[in-house]
Amino acid sequence: MKTQQFFAVLGLAGLLLAAPACSDDVLDDIDTNPNRPETASLRLLLPQVETDAAFGISGTELAWYSSVFVEHTTGVHAQFEQIDKRAPGAFVSNVTNNNWSNIYATNLKDVDTIIRQGSIGSEAGSWRYVGIAKILKAYVLGIATDLFGRVPNTNALQGASNLKPTFDTQESVYASMQTLLDEAILDLDKPSAATPGNTDFFFNGDPAQWKKVAYSLKARYANRLSKRDAAGSATRALAAAAQGFTAPTEGWIFTRFTTASIGENPWYQERNDRSHLAVSTTIYDLFTTLNDPRGGLLVDTIPGGTRVAAPNGTALTDQGSVLYSRASPQLVNATAPLPLMTYAELKFIEAEANLRLGNRTAAYTAYQAAVAAALAQQLVPPAAATAYLAQVSVSPGAAGLTLSNIITQKYLSFFVYQPIEAYNDYRRTGIPALHNPEGAPPRRFPYPQNELDNNRLNVPATSPGSGVWWDDGTED
């Protein structure tokens, strides 16, 4: 045994003595598995973060909770029924763990990798990728801060070098989002060493379309600050909107869902796998009161052929979809497109901003264009759309146009895929009237338990009943 140990040590010594004869490059190659690269290329990262922004961040729990809160839908089973009925302990810190992790540990981390790698890293000069990534970062940060309030930003995404980031004020996060969008517009104009092509799931790398997305988002985020700076926010929103989407055929819409089980529209997956959400009486009654053709097109029937909406706060459990209507298969199906921002939304923003500034004629023109675009997007036939728009309750004229007209129609246009924006508008304007007898919805989402466990000293002390900065003016 000792002899064997000796030769083993001798052999090891020989290897150590011989090691200097090997070049560093050879040793690096020996230690590298070519089938497991340490860094992903921009072409691999971009489709991943785009899909995640549409599916995981805009299309799942954050949207479903918002949908119940703003009464697009009613929770009729499991956690969504409990949240709808304001059950104690239903909407607490553990419900947002996965969403927070997806935002920070997955999406924003990969987005920052694209920005760094495409600007100064291994694929430097890939400005088309960098510009798109900055737009995506602004969008995802926007969802995070709109729902949670103060969030990590300047000290976030630093890995092991800073595991306990501080939380930036929402005011500063909003300024950062606008800066990212400004930088993205400039980056998209630069000559690019590489272009995304078909790895860009939205526009095949077309910089002109991405710039319109950036300007449209700038208008959205400017208008969001209506309670903080009424005139200034309107002026900035209109300046940005002028360079945003220019036709109903334009918009930022994810259209790459498939019929494969892992590639389906997330709302379709929710309906098939969980069926926790039914159409709310609040929105269905609005459709009915306004003689809105969308009530018959976007709301499905129950067995027996009737449409029955679910009352928020008092609905019976109905996972089997036999008591209450769901969104129709025309609207929610495996390959249905999922909008992140539309031309209709941009025109509603223009209408609201002009109305705030007293520009009634411009406001009414934008409002009518917004409603018409929303109807077309939501599958309403042209003749039915024309009849709908002819009603005084829908088209009151420039002198009669109110903020309630604009936000109500915008609320209807967001059904079913943009409830986060409907929730943001409700907190900002109080429109439409909600009817849950258990009380008003939360005004923010709770910080996740994982963050409280690991970074408690930096997590703001808040309650779901307190507004975010653009809502109530405080930075709690």
Whether residue 19 is predicted with pLDDT greater than 90 in this model: the reply is no
Instruction: Label residue 454 by pLDDT band (50, 70, 90).
Output: very high
* Nearest CA among 337, 323, 176, 215 for reference residue 268: 337
Does residue 213 form part of some domain? yes
Query: Each residue of 321-349: pLDDT tens digit?
Result: 999 999 999 999 999 999 999 999 999 99
Give yes or no for residue 49 having a pLDDT over 50. yes
Q: What is the span of the domain harbouring residue 204?
A: 42-261+341-455
Q: Phi and psi of 118, rounded to 5°?
A: -85, -15
Percent of the chain with pLDDT over 90: 90
Q: pLDDT > 70: what percent of the chain?
A: 92
Give a yes or no: residue 3 inside a domain: no
For the entire predicted model, the pTM comes to 0.92
Query: For 256-273, what is each residue's pLDDT tens digit?
Result: 999 998 999 999 999 999
Calpha distance 428→443 (Å, rounded):
10
Q: Is residue 476 very low, low, confident or very high in pLDDT (cuts 50, 70, 90)?
A: confident
For residue 15, what pLDDT band results from cuts at 50, 70 and 90?
Answer: very low
3-state secondary structure (DSSP) of residue 340: strand
Nearest to 213 by CA among 202, 229, 228, 225: 202
pLDDT at 10 over 90: no
pLDDT tens digits along 112-140: 999 999 999 999 999 999 999 999 999 99
Q: Does residue 463 sit within a domain?
A: no
Dig out the tokens for 322 from the structure. 């036999």
Query: Residue 27 has what pLDDT?
Result: 40
pLDDT at 382: 98
Residue 39: the pLDDT is 74
Mean pLDDT check: name the lowest of 158-162, 174-178, 285-289: 158-162
**The pLDDT of residue 38:** 58
468, part of any domain = no
| pLDDT value at residue 159 | 86
Residue 74 has pLDDT above 60, yes or no: yes
Confidence of residue 160 (pLDDT cuts 50, 70, 90): confident
Decide if 442 is inside a domain. yes
Residue 475 in any domain: the answer is no
User: What are the tens digits of pLDDT across the range 77-92?
Assistant: 999 999 999 999 999 9
What single letter denotes the amino acid at residue 326? R
In a domain, 24, yes or no: no
Domain contains 426: yes
User: In total, how many domains does the chain have?
Assistant: 1
Find the CATH number of the domain harbouring 128: 1.25.40.390
Q: 28 pLDDT exceeds 80?
A: no
Q: For the ranges 38-42, 181-185, 352-356, which has the lowest average pLDDT? A: 38-42
Q: What is the sign, positive or negative, of the torsion defined by CA atoms of 292, 298, 300, 305?
A: positive
Contact yes or no for 136/187 (Cβ under 8 A): no
Beta strands (DSSP E) in 303-454 are 338-342
What 8-state DSSP symbol labels residue 276? -
Mean pLDDT of all residues belonging to the chain? 93
Count Cβ neighbours within 10 Å for each residue of 160-199 and write b for 16 or more, e otherwise: eeeeebebbbbbebbebbbebbebbbebbeeebebbbeeb
pLDDT digits (tens, 9 = 90+) for 362-403: 999 999 999 999 999 999 999 999 999 999 999 999 999 999
φ and ψ of 434, to 5 deg: -105, 160
